[in-house]
Amino acid sequence: MHDYLEFEKPIREIEEKIEKLATAPAGKSQDEIRKLRIKLAQVEHTLYSKLTPWQRTQLARHPQRPSTLDYIGYLFRDFLELHGDRSFGDDRAIVGGFATYNDRSIMVIGHQKGKTLKERMQRNFGMPNPEGYRKALRLMKMAEKFGRPIVTFIDTPGAYPGIGAEERGQGEAIARSTERCLTLGVPMVAVISGEGGSGGAIAIAAANTVLMLEHAYYSVISPEGAASILYRKKEGETPRADRVREVAIALKITAQELLELRVIDAIVPEPVGGAHREAPAAIATLGAAVAAALDRLAALSPQELRAQRRQRFMAIGRVEAEAAGA
């Protein structure tokens, strides 16, 4: 059973009709089902080929979208989860540990939101505290020590902005994690699999290769947050829906826009309707992209990996300058 988003109402209506006819006696119903399936395919093609940035944001947040642990469970073997930052505690909003991928030992790290309400609360809805980023930092250091490539999965609305998190050094933890990403002497591949929210995302995404799922988003601030700053007239006021949609366009947060701006390196296609519609197929497609990225980086020396990473990030934002000089 699918959880339909508001803009998917036409699809829900057709699928409900098909489901109802499927339980009816055989006969004319089969012909009607065939016609409805043709219509469904046409509606899906029209709808999903013209998604707005805000609609893609909604898909990125879909509660049934595959999570980091889903990717780990499907793609990797012998996952050994490691806990704690060796300073304060264990943050369940970030998971990580050693795993085997295509007979290659790697370190995998990622945000984890949870599926049920109880698990989401336990994992703070995928918003890490400083100890989460310090855990990620510890695992990155361990991977480098043992010469293991690193694969990260990014799916967070952002780092947790609570008072306790700030008191324990949230900004410093994010900065140190980002710095370690940039100076690693082992290959690193980052995957923007859902929400890529601000510093909470970049802290484990400053990689040699950044892949992004077709309907994920990656931004310095959420559309709602930006709309609130730009258009809020009084404390506690929620920005109008049209303002949020407008800001989502201006932020350029989609995979297609970010590829053009060189913020990401490749877009990983999703099944029609999003990764949650056909999770095994979506995960397999991503797995092939990750394997190819790791293969390309395998021959580079530590010095070459650092240089490539630096060049990659220094190139971000040069598109307009190059166009003007052409």
Q: Which of 110, 99, 96, 98 is nearest to 76 (CA)?
A: 99
Separation between Cα atoms, residue 150 and residue 98, nearest integer Å = 9
93/75 same-domain check = yes
Do 35 and 148 share a domain, yes or no?
no
- Over the stretch 192-244, which tens digit does the pLDDT of each residue have? 999 999 889 999 999 999 999 999 999 999 998 898 888 876 666 677 888 89
Co-location of 221 and 77 in the same domain? yes
Number of domains in the chain: 2
Cα–Cα distance list, 205 to 196, 201, 283 (Å): 9, 6, 19
Residue 145 lies in a domain: yes
User: At 273, is the secondary structure helix, strand, or coil?
Assistant: coil
Q: Which domain holds residue 11?
A: 7-50
Output the pLDDT for position 159: 93
Query: Where do runs of H (alpha helix) occur along 116-197?
Result: 117-122, 130-145, 163-167, 170-183
pLDDT, residue 322, reads 52
**CATH number of the domain encompassing residue 227:** 3.90.226.10
Residues of the chain with pLDDT under 70: 1, 24-28, 233-237, 319-326
In this structure, are 61 and 24 located in the same domain? no
- Is residue 173 situated within a structural domain? yes
* 23 and 144 together in one domain: no
Determine, yes or no, domain membership for 2: no
Reported pTM: 0.89
Same domain, 256 and 294: yes
Give the span between the Cα atoms of 205 and 152, in whole angstroms: 7
- Domain membership of residue 148 (yes or no) is yes
The CA-based dihedral angle spanning residues 308, 309, 314, 315, taken in that order and rounded to the nearest 10 degrees: 60
The answer to whether residues 34 and 68 belong to one domain is no
Are 158 and 34 found together in one domain?
A: no
Residues 209 and 66 in one domain: yes
Q: Please tell me whether residues 43 and 62 are part of one structural domain.
A: no
**Distance of alpha carbon 280 from alpha carbon 294, whole angstroms:** 21
Pairing of strands 77-81, 94-101: antiparallel
Q: Is residue 270 part of a domain?
A: yes
In a domain, residue 288? The reply is: yes
Residues 154 and 32 grouped into a single domain: no
1 within some domain: no
Within this chain, do residues 225 and 200 fall inside the same structural domain, yes or no?
A: yes
Whether 178 is covered by a domain: the verdict is: yes
